[in-house]
Amino acid sequence: MAEIKVSSDMDFIALREMNTPAVAVLNAGEQNTLKGEAVFGALIHGLVKFFGAVWTPAQIAECAKVCFDEWYYLSFAEVAHFAQRARAGYFKEPGKPLFFGQFSPANIIEWLCTYTAENLQQREAYYCNPHNGNTWIPPAEPVSDACVQQLKDVAALIEAQMIATQKEEAEERQRKLDAAIARVNDK
């Protein structure tokens, strides 16, 4: 997704013209949704780090699952666009600080609700406009098997990196806990 160049002021038409597949294609032929969830997990992990928050791996995983379950139809360009808007403060309420308290999964869910509501309105306006010269016709082969496989490979890499990061974070927390217990026991 880092290679998808978007700006926070792009609209649905510009994102559609980028012709990126929906995140859901990663799970084509799979028995689970882990690859799609990994894309949202990477998005969430990046936003958590960007905002300087500390989430547990379980929070990231659960939030990613909710995001994929609800917004699997978003294209990669739209997911990148959402991330850009989040970083740019697009979802900040006027006159209020960006966060009240701590940055939590609820913030991301709320922002995605706002983002997709606007996105779906733009989609409807685009596809329902009888004067639209770009009437959508499904392509014969919307996404090649090679492209799907490439996306699956990238998702598997992201998933492996997330698992490794979560393991490292868990081990570090356990080391700190063990050290704190040892200090208490030494007293």
Per-residue model confidence as pLDDT tens digits over 49-71: 988 888 999 999 999 999 999 99
pLDDT computed for residue 48 by the predictor: 92
The answer on pLDDT for 1 being more than 60 is yes
pLDDT computed for residue 136 by the predictor: 57
Contact 118, 90 (CB under 8 A): no
pLDDT computed for residue 45 by the predictor: 94
Domains in the chain: boundaries: 12-186
Q: What are the pLDDT digits (tens) for 149-184? A: 887 788 888 888 888 888 888 888 888 887 878 777
pLDDT computed for residue 174 by the predictor: 86
Q: What are the pLDDT digits (tens) for 109-147? A: 999 999 999 988 888 887 777 676 655 565 666 667 777
The answer on pLDDT for 97 being more than 80 is no
**Full-model pTM:** 0.68
Contact 61, 37 (CB under 8 A): yes
pLDDT computed for residue 103 by the predictor: 82
How would DSSP label each residue in 48-85? HHHTT----HHHHHHHHHHHHHHHTT-BHHHHHHHHHH
